[in-house]
Amino acid sequence: MGGWDVHEVPYVHEVSRDEFKRESKSSISKGFASGSGGPHVWKYLNHCNLKVHSSNEFLQHLIRALLYAVLFDEYSGGYVRVFQVTKTDAMKVYDRPVLQALFDDHYNALARYLSNSLFFLFDTNDYKYTHDINAKVNKGFERQFMKKKYKGNVVIK
């Protein structure tokens, strides 16, 4: 949750259902990523050149970080939605299904981060079936390839 205080200083609060967690309040927010995909967002952002020169460039980095998190976090998925929050309004600036966002908009930019990953596309919503196959393939790849090189496999339903 973000906004401005009475002195026009931006602030960001990280909240959960149960409690206030932390606050970043300064003229420059260092930001944070919460939720189960948060560590994946930071992993991606820490490997990027974050010297951005425009709001649009920052938006593209943010969308790619969210896509990376969605692909590698088993609790994330569906859509990538990004909102721009101003002092008086919130505007949706990006809203695409994950596969469309990945393959139509950002695949080339993410390719070097995904080059050691294996993707499965299943035409079924049978979770047990896809989970069992995914677990077996993952074990086989972990045995075959060094952990440093193999990042994991991703099931996209």
Confidence of residue 26 (pLDDT cuts 50, 70, 90): very low
Residue 95, pLDDT score: 92
Confidence of residue 31 (pLDDT cuts 50, 70, 90): low
**Whether residue 152 is found in the same domain as residue 131:** yes
In contact, 70 and 33? CB cutoff 8 Å: no
Percent of the chain surpassing pLDDT 70 = 55
In contact, 3 and 85? CB cutoff 8 Å: yes
Residue whose entry in the numeric block shows the structure tokens 């074990």: 139
Asked if residue 88 is part of any domain, the answer here is yes
**Whether residue 70 is found in the same domain as residue 124:** no
Asked if residue 82 is part of any domain, the answer here is yes
**Whether residue 110 is found in the same domain as residue 76:** yes
Q: Which of 31, 36, 100, 108 is nearest to 72 (CA)?
A: 36
Q: Per DSSP, what are the bridge partners of residue 82?
A: 94
**Whether residue 121 is found in the same domain as residue 105:** no
**Whether residue 90 is found in the same domain as residue 134:** no
pLDDT at 80 exceeding the cut of 80 = yes
Rounded Cα gap, residues 89 and 136, in angstroms: 47
Position with higher pLDDT, 56 vs 64: 64
**Whether residue 92 is found in the same domain as residue 110:** yes
Residue 126, pLDDT score: 62
- Mean local confidence (pLDDT), 78-107: 82
Identify the CATH number of the domain in which residue 47 sits: 3.60.20.10
In contact, 99 and 156? CB cutoff 8 Å: yes
pTM tops 0.85: no
- Mean local confidence (pLDDT), 52-77: 78
Confidence of residue 123 (pLDDT cuts 50, 70, 90): low
Domains: count for the chain: 2
In contact, 42 and 73? CB cutoff 8 Å: no
Confidence of residue 1 (pLDDT cuts 50, 70, 90): very low
**Whether residue 66 is found in the same domain as residue 105:** yes
CA angle 44–50–55, rounded 5-degree value: 110
Domain boundaries, position 77: 33-115
Asked if residue 18 is part of any domain, the answer here is no
Write phi, then psi, for 12 (nearest 5 degrees): -135, 135
Position with higher pLDDT, 157 vs 32: 32
- Mean local confidence (pLDDT), 59-85: 81
- The total number of residues shown for the chain amounts to 157
Q: Token digits for 117? A: 């990953």
Residue 30, pLDDT score: 53
Q: Which residues contact 55 (CB under 8 A, 6 or more apart)?
A: none
